[in-house]
Amino acid sequence: MLVSLKWLRDYVDIDVDPKTFGDKMTMTGTKTETIENLGDEISGVVVAKIVDIQPHPDAEKLVVTQVDIGKKENIQIVTGAKNIKVGDIIPLATHGSNLPGGIKIKKSKLRGIESNGMMCSAKELGIDEKFVEDYKKNGIFILDMEDSYKLGKDIKDVLGLDDAIIDFELTSNRPDCKSMIGIAREAAVTLDNKLKFPNIIVKEESDKDMNISVEIKDNDLCTRYLARKVTDIKIERSPYWMQRRLIESGIRPINNIVDITNFVMIEMGQPMHAFDMRQINGDKIVVKTPDKEEIFTTLDGQERQIDEDTLMICDADKNLGLAGIMGGLDSEVKEDTKEILFESAVFNKENIRKSSKRLGLRTEASSRFEKGVSEENAKLAIERAAQLVELLGAGKVVKGLVDTYPNPKQVQKLTIDPIRINKRIGIDIPMDKFCSILESLEFKCNLKTSNELELEVPYFRLDIVEEADIFEEIARIYGFENIPSVQLQGNSTAGVKTDKQKYVDNIKNTAIACGLYETITYSFVSPKGLDRVKIPEDSKLRDVVKLINPLGEDTSIMRSTMLANMMDVLSTNNSHNVEKANIFECGHIFTPDDMAGVEETRLCLGMYGDNVDFYTLKGVLEKIFQRNGIKNPKFVAQKENTSYHPGRCADVFVDGRHIATLGEAHPQVCDNYNISKRVYLSEVNVDIMFELSDLSIVFSQLPKYPSITRDIALLLDEKIQVGQIEEVIMEKANELVEACNLFDVYKGAQIEEGKKSVAYSIVYRSLEKTLTDDDIAQVHSSILKALEEKLDAKLRD
C-alpha cells in the first residue's frame, strides 16, 4: 500500500520524520517496506512564466526566451523545446539549482547567447511520464491553471514534491488498512493522536428524480448495493491536488468522475464504479449471474468469456460490468456524458477471487473485494463520492439514495477474559489501560466482571472473530518491546522416534543393505500418472483426493499409488543413460474418507538392468520381510493387475491379508515412460507389515541328535507352484521335518509335455532321539501320499 505522508496528514497529525514514523508503524504491526522522499534532490526550481520567445540568431532549432519569476528583471533562457508558447507557466531551474540524479544547473552560453537556467520536463523533475498528459511528455512540463500559481514559488510546493511515499506491507487479514483512512487509524493509535475522519455532507442540488431501482438476485453473492445519480456532469481534468494523490498511489488520472471513484477507493478502501446513464436501459440495475456462457467486452477493450458463476451488473436488457472487477466498455463515462450512476456495493470475496483468477483479470477493485469490504463503509464511500462531485463542481447530485440491503449485518459482539489475555501475554495491564487500548482501536467496551469484558467490534474490522484476535491487538498496541523476556519454563524431555518410525527406518536400512538407493518424490501428482501405469477406470485408486487450489494440473491430486512416481524416477535415470537402477521410496498414499483410510504408508521398489529379473526383486522383498518380522509370506500368482505383466506378477499374503504386489511392469507401461528395458516393481503396505510384524527372538538349544536327509523327485503338472508342494510337505511333517529344500526343477525331452520334475531334499530330525529308518518311513510315506492326493504328484523313477 503506497501512502503519501502529505495526504495522510489530512486525517491524523504526524509530528515525526518519515523514518521515525515508519519505524513506529512497524512496531505496531503495519510493516514499513520502503520510504521514498520526493523532492529531496530538487532545489532552486521555481514557477516561471514565459513572456517572450525569439529565434536564436545562430541556431534554427533554438529559441531565446524571457521568463518572469516574480522579480524585477526577467531571466533569459535558451531552449530547444517545441511545445512552449508565450504565457505558459513552467518549472524553471535557476542558476545554482539541483535536479534528481545529481544534476547541477549553472549559467552557460548556447551558440553565443547566454542562458541563465533551464526549463524542466517532467522526467527531469523525477515525475514518471506514465502519469503525464501526452502534450507534456515530449518537452517542457507545462503547468495548468495559471492564476493558481505564484511566480517564483518553489516547484516542490506547487507540484506536491515535498512529500514522502511510504510503502506499507499489509497482511491479508487487514483489508481495512488498504486505504488512507485505514492507515490513518493505525497511525492515530501508534502516535496516540485522534483520527480526523472527513466530514461528509451532500447538498443534493439537482431537482431531477432518482428513478433507479436495484434488484439483487443472489443475496449471498451481493450483500449490499447502493446507487446515487448525478446530473449536469462536466467531464474535465481533475484538480492537480487530486491527480497528484492518485499518482502517488500508483493510479493514472483520467477525468474528474473516474478520478473521484479512484480517489474514494484509495481514501476509504471501497471500490466504486460510475455508469453512463444513457447505457442503463429500463432505469434498473440487476445483480445476477448469467444463465449461460457469454462474451463480454470490458473497459480495457478485451473480450472475455463469462460463465454461470461470474457475478454481473446488468440493466433490464444487457450486461454492464463484471461485479467487483471491471466495468463494461459500452457503459464507461465518456467526454459527452451528462448523467452518471455511482455504484458502491459489497460482493462475496470468494466469488470475486475465483472470477478474477478464471478471467485472468486482477484490478485494484478486485484486490480489495477478494480480501473483504464492509457493508457500512460502502454507504460512507458513495456519500463521499457525491460530496467530491459537488466540491469539484463536476455535477449536481440527485436527492435520494438507493440502498438495497436484504440482510442488514448486525453489530458484532465478543466476550473476552482480560485476565486470561494478560496471563498469556505475560504482563498485567490495568483494566482502564486495557479498555483504553481497545477504545483507541474503536472498540466499544462494556465491563461486566473482572474476567468478562463485552466488546462491540467496529464495522471495518472484518478480521476480529475470537478472543485470540483481541490478544494480538492488545499485545501490538501495548508494545512488543514492553513485554518482558523470560526464560522458558517446564520440564525438558528427550525427543524420540515412535515404534512405527523406528520400524520404517529399519525397512529403509534393509533396502539400502540390499543395494537399493532411496528417493523422495512429491505426494501431489498429475492424474495422467494413473493412465500411464494402466490403472483401470473402475479401480478404487481412481477415487483420489483433489487439491482445491493446485499449482497446476501436474500437481492437482494426492497420489493413491506410488507406481507412477517410481516409473518417473526410473524413466529419468534411463533417459540419462544410467544402465542399472535399484531404487526404493518409503512414503505415503492418500485416499478419501469413505475408503480404508486417509493416509497409508507404502514402500515402493523399482529396478532395471542386466542380471535383474523377477527373482532379484523377490529376493530383496523376502530379505525385507525376514529382517522386519514378517513370517511365512505366501506368494500367489496374479494375472489381473493391469500395471504388471500378466505372467510375471504375484501378490504376497501374510495370515490371509494382502501385504504387497510385485512383478515385471507391463510393456505398455514401459512404453508410456519411454523405457525399452524390462522394469520390475513392487508396492508394499507398510502399515499392515507393522501390524503383523513379530520381531521377537526365540532361542533354542543346539540339537543333540543327527539329522537324516531323503531326496524326492516328483513328476507333476507344470502349473503347480513349488509353494503348494512345500505347504503339503510341512502339513505332514509330524514335527520331524526340519526343512525341505528345493534343489532342481526340470523340463525336457524325458518329461512329457505339460509336466515338470521337481526335486526336494527333506531333512528329518528329532529333538528326543536318534531317528531310525522306520521312524522316517512312516512320515515320508504320508508326505508322498498327500502329494499324490492333493497335487497328483508321482514319484519319479
Residues forming the annotated binding site for Mg(2+)? 463, 469, 472-473
Helix, strand or coil for residue 30? coil
Residue reference for cell 442503463: 280
Which helix (H) or strand (E) covers residue 785, if one does?
helix 773-791
CB 123 within 8 A of CB 82: no
Strand partners, 583: 517, 606
Residue reference for cell 499392515: 688
In angstroms, rounded to a whole number, what is the distance separating the alpha carbons of residues 11 and 32? 19
Of the candidates 382, 444, 440, the residue with the CA atom closest to the CA atom of residue 411:
444
Q: Classify residue 388 as exposed, middle or buried by CB count within 10 Å of its CB (0-12, 13-18, 19+).
A: buried
CB 94 within 8 A of CB 69: yes
Of the candidates 686, 643, 677, the residue with the CA atom closest to the CA atom of residue 663:
643
Strand partners, 24: none
Which helix (H) or strand (E) covers residue 364, if one does?
helix 364-369
Helix, strand or coil for residue 649? strand
Q: Over the Cα atoms of the chain, what is R_g?
A: 42
In angstroms, rounded to a whole number, what is the distance separating the alpha carbons of residues 491 and 488? 10
- Three cell numbers, residue 5: 505522508
Residue reference for cell 436527492: 399
CB 564 within 8 A of CB 532: yes
Q: What are phi and psi of 329, to 5 degrees?
A: -65, -40
In angstroms, rounded to a whole number, what is the distance separating the alpha carbons of residues 679 and 665? 5
- Crossing angle between the packed helical segments 180-190 and 256-268, to the nearest 10 degrees: 30
In angstroms, rounded to a whole number, what is the distance separating the alpha carbons of residues 100 and 38? 10
Helix, strand or coil for residue 23? helix
C-alpha angle with apex 665: 661 to 667, nearest 5 degrees?
Answer: 150
CB 65 within 8 A of CB 105: no
Strand partners, 681: 606, 663
**Annotated binding-site members:** 463, 469, 472-473
In angstroms, rounded to a whole number, what is the distance separating the alpha carbons of residues 27 and 37? 21
- Across the beta sheet with 164-169, the strand order is 2-4, 164-169, 31-37
- Three cell numbers, residue 460: 471495518
In angstroms, rounded to a whole number, what is the distance separating the alpha carbons of residues 65 and 53? 4
Q: What is the 3-state secondary structure (H, E, C) of 76-139?
A: EEEECCCCCCCCCEEEEEEEEEEECCCEECCCEEECCEEECEEECCCHHHCCCHHHCCHHHHCC
* Residue 481 identity (one-letter amino acid): E
In angstroms, rounded to a whole number, what is the distance separating the alpha carbons of residues 309 and 144? 47
Annotate 749-769 with b (16+ C-beta within 10 A) or e (fewer).
eeeeeeebbbebebebbbeee
CA 149 remoteness from chain centre: 49
Strand partners, 456: 413, 444
Q: What is the CB neighbour count within 10 angstroms for residue 61?
A: 9
Which DSSP state fits 593?
T
Which DSSP state fits 572?
H
